[in-house]
Structure 1
Amino acid sequence: MYAESNLLSIFTPEGRQDPFPALAELRRIDPVHHSEALGTHVLTRFADCQEVLTGPAFLVPDRDWCAAALPDRRADPGAEFLYSSLLGTNGADHSRLRGLIAGALGARQVAALRATTEKITEELLDGFADATGSGGAANFQELVGRPLPVALVGALIGVPRAEQGRLEHLGRGAGRLLEPLRSPEDWARADRAVAELREYFATLLRERRACPADDLASALLDQRRTVDPPPTERELADLLLLVFVAGFETTTGLLGTAVHALLTHPDQLDLVRADPGLVPAAVEESLRWDSPVLMTERIAARPVEVAGVAIPRGGSVTAVLAAANRDPERHPEPDTFTVRRPDHRPLSFSAGPHYCPGAALARAEGTALLGQLLHRFPKLTLTGPPVRRAAVALRSFDDLPLATTG
């Protein structure tokens, strides 16, 4: 009961604010904890999480799993998308879909987007400077942290700037699908969002078929002939939907966390200001310090053991990425935020076959933002307590009040 109460405490407002003490205690007393409430074995050690994410004995929940575990939901838009898109496929199906977007999000393509990333960052920081120029505070997330990744992934896909705000709102609704405990309201909001987003991206694909452009939507249409079997129209629309939502949700969390972490650790902020070459390391430490995605689920493909605990075929395990990243066996002094930490290897973007294909782009956005932000605003300060998003799986700030004039 003590282990279960520790776990469930992270679902309270206080626990969402700072889940790390409870997760550390769970790792100490029961690192492979079977939660009756969540119906899963919860893993909090780095080695166990990495084994599950990278090993062949575990799969992501897919369409077949949904049909057995959520029979009343399987035809609903939210569940049908979650368990049949790139997020919810395994083996050859996953490789086929992932191959369509891997090239568009590789190192060369991210480098080609660098000028666009820097330009959008500069424009948004101009607005932030205007909002704080008279000495007042402004919500950094509203002005920069959310619109930056939305604008960049929108530009990548081919979504006009004028339509990005509406799609972001819908995307946040679809993001409720990632919560470990989903209310009927969460499902309903996600169903509406997925249905509308699917229609939007299906329309975009029709437009690009008639008039191609230099964007991901057109590239997918070009590449579909190279894949066997070719993707369906629904699969292509779902790929765009996933790239859009995942492309801003996790990066929004990263940007806010990185800024907040540096401002609340002034000694580390001084190091980065003195040596801008440390900016990428600051991004990496922010990912380890407070992962944008708290946890991710896998299903045992066969009977297997994790750290001596038997998991039956079809049994659920949940890798708590945030706990793994603060495992002292992997990262000594894990509760210390230090940009000079050697041998970073956080699991923040998962690992194995489902390693986030947009990780390089997210890191590039974080590097561009911190580089410009710290250069332009030497007196940047936190002016009040930030407000966390009311979510467990996706860790982000809704309000990050900052001032620039000191």
Structure 2
Amino acid sequence: MVQVEEALSIIAKNSCKMPIRKIKVAKSLGFILAETIYSPMDMPPFRQSAMDGYAFIHSELQQLDVVSTSQAGDFSNKKIKENQAIRIFTGAYVPDDLDTVVMQEHTAVKNKKVEITKMPVRFANVRNKGEQIKENELVLEKNTLITPAAIGFLACLGITEITVYVKPKVAIVVTGNELVKAGRKLAQGKIYESNSIMLQSALQGIGIKKIEVFRVKDNLKATKRVLKSCLSAFDVVLVSGGISVGDYDFVKEALLSNGVEELFYKINQKPGKPLFFGKKDKTIVFALPGNPASTLTGFYIYVHPALKISMGFESIYLPKIKRKITVPFENTSGKTVFLKGLYDDEKVTILESQSSAMLNTFATANALIYLPYDVVDIAKDQEVQVIPLY
């Protein structure tokens, strides 16, 4: 049995980044960049007007002849005199001779003449060539998360493809004779299976979409067969249930018989002590306890960082913050404890129904309270570590 920090260290050492490939920028949302990108051009590529108004040569003259118009997309470098101006619109090309744009709200126009009622400073409202970024300057560093803004930035530079880390394909294997798919009739002795849809949602929440769910009865032969297939076809295998020491818990035996290397089994924690982590070739395996709250806690604490590593993230762990606990707590278990909680700007409250089988308070929790195994007595208003989930 390992301690929590040791388990996290083992996972980090044995998880690796996925391969890289080129994809369309338009389809890159949520991926991690696997290359450093430099600008192929100046942006803007020409001097632009930042306002709707009038472009002119800055001087003491306040009344000017309007001699032409420049709309966005137009180009004209016609010579403009000091006593002249052009009607111009936001984003339009500013001819080389002109240095200033006065916004239309500060003008009065009559008979093709414009009077400047409030003179701007010289160079006002003109975006210079390369003002946003110059050719060969850094656009995005390697390991940057691609966001909508990043996609827009790349697109405005004419970049259509980028190299990213591939996202892993994940198999979810759910074990248990007692489980029934939601929507079907529930017979005596059966319960609805919720872990698969919960894990799918958690995976989708970090941008993983290639997910398949497999269901298997508590049978060694069937468990071996399903796991063998998953180990050869997926990058990550998540098993729900069947990892304890009961007469019908066959997952560990089935994994080992399929050549999975056991890297640890059982963690000194509550909930979720019977948790297995292993590896076969480049496929990593987590066998999580079947109790729903244990499953989800295991995902957030252990599976989440492994997946972040595979996708190319540099920051892989959920953040930890400190808050004052609202009630005293005694941890006599000798285990690291993860408690479902609600936190705000100052405090954190332990919720009721901490059982590993219960999701009712997990559904309203916004954090896990992390209490190390060697801390026994926690006083009211003492600061504790909190892991925000939402």
Settle same-fold status: TM greater than 0.5. Answer: no
Give 1 or 2: higher helix fraction.
1
**TM bin (shorter chain):** under 0.3
Give 1 or 2: higher strand fraction.
2
Q: Indicate the structure (1 or 2) with the bigger Cα radius of gyration.
A: 2
Alignment TM-score, normalising by the size of structure 2: 0.22
